[in-house]
Amino acid sequence: MSGLFITFEGTEGAGKSTHIRLLSERLRKLGRTVRELREPGGTPLGEEIRHLLKHHPAGRGMTPEAELLLMNASRAQLVREVIRPALDAGEVVLCDRFFDSTVAYQGHGRGLDLKLVEPIIAAAVGEMIPHLTLFLHVPLAVSESRRLSRQNEQGAPADRFEESERTFFERVERGFKTIAAAEPKRVRIVDASGKIEAIADAIWVHVEPLLKNRDERN
Ligand code: TMP
């Protein structure tokens, strides 16, 4: 793969979609071809799975194991249908969540054994490991109030995940921190509680050297 694969992680309301948009604009201005994706989703099949996971009434009593498998069914399709071809074509792929979310939400959050979670992720992902993962970190109270105000402003019903208790999000948050500590080269923590421009600049500090590296090699 000659392209660059960057994933964004964090709890709800950390500003991932805003920063994916800003980074994408910056990269396009530099003449890069950018692909913005989200998980679960990003393919017609994945978007149907996303609806099942988040909003469909049939998902109400979903078991953690079924959730794990559906997340990775969506991922297996996305990797093969979109991510791999885009990277082979030299594009920059920006993905809103990827397998670290499964470790954090289904592993740490739902309490599934990581020995069960990891081989399923491996089957979905294959060799497609991100070059860089940006963990946008905001204190839990900030994430919670952003989540609630978004729901009030947009009048959107909370999805199955957003309805979870605070203790669930605490476990997810700890999960992301554990992942970042275990893989400090790939996963960079970005303090996402300040001004948008400052956060975008902090993100750029991690992205720019990777781009240069790629250009020199290609
Ligand atoms: P979002 O795209 O609006 O953040 O919604 C996706 C939800 O799905 C979010 O609550 C996190 C959750 N999720 C998992 O639980 N496991 C995963 O592997 C992924 C990709 C997302």
* Distance of CA 101 from the midpoint of ligand 1 (Å): 7
Give me the pLDDT at residue 13, please.
87
Summarize pLDDT for 94-136 with one digit per residue, the tens.
999 999 999 999 999 999 999 999 999 999 999 999 999 999 9
74 ligand 1 Cβ < 6 A: no
> The whole model's pTM is what?
0.96
Give me the pLDDT at residue 216, please.
83
- Would you place residue 215 in the very low, low, confident or very high pLDDT band (cuts 50, 70, 90)? confident
Give me the pLDDT at residue 69, please.
98
* Distance of CA 51 from the midpoint of ligand 1 (Å): 11
Averaged confidence pLDDT in the chain: 95
Give me the pLDDT at residue 1, please.
63
Q: Which residue has the higher pLDDT, 151 or 53?
A: 53
Summarize pLDDT for 80-105 with one digit per residue, the tens.
999 999 999 999 999 999 999 999 99
46 ligand 1 Cβ < 6 A: no
- Above 70 in pLDDT, residue 173? yes
Give me the pLDDT at residue 208, please.
97
From 69, 79, 97, mutation site for ligand 1 pocket: most ligand atoms within 8 A of C-beta: 97
The minimum-distance atom of ligand 1 relative to the CA of 39 is: 20
Give me the pLDDT at residue 213, please.
87
* Phi, psi at 13, each rounded to 5°: 80, 15
The minimum-distance atom of ligand 1 relative to the CA of 110 is: 15
Percent of the chain with pLDDT over 90: 85
42 ligand 1 Cβ < 6 A: no
Summarize pLDDT for 32-84 with one digit per residue, the tens.
999 999 999 999 999 999 999 999 999 999 999 999 999 999 999 999 999 99
- Above 90 in pLDDT, residue 12? no
38 ligand 1 Cβ < 6 A: yes
- Would you place residue 150 in the very low, low, confident or very high pLDDT band (cuts 50, 70, 90)? confident
71 ligand 1 Cβ < 6 A: yes
